[in-house]
Amino acid sequence: MDIGFVWDEDKYLQVQTEHDVQFYEVVAACYDPNRYEIPDPQGHNDRWMLIGKTPNGRILSVIYSEEDAPLQRLITAFDAGQRYSDEYYKRS
């Protein structure tokens, strides 16, 4: 089954401005075969955090919800911190 992505336009513009993350990078990270997912560290029961690598080598944290399955509602994306980057490389 194909997965689609939706992102509130205002939130996406905010992410672009604050974190310099582009939509295509998020999609690439989501399709990274070495990605991993954990429950949202902020404690939101309906959200997940995905850690994945873009083709340019950027490790991103992507917060999303599956409330509209098969669509994934993107909440935010930003460069993964050292902890999550280290874990990414340990797993891959």
Which residues constitute the domain of residue 53?
4-91
**pLDDT score of 1:** 43
Q: CB-based contacts of 82: which residues, under 8 Å, 6+ apart?
A: none
Dump pLDDT digits (tens) for 38-67: 999 998 888 999 999 999 999 999 999 987
State how many domains the chain has. 1
Q: Provide the edge-to-edge strand list for the sheet that holds 36-39.
A: 4-7, 71-79, 59-68, 47-53, 36-39
> The domain that contains 62 carries what CATH number?
3.10.450.530
* 71 pLDDT tier (thresholds 50, 70, 90): confident
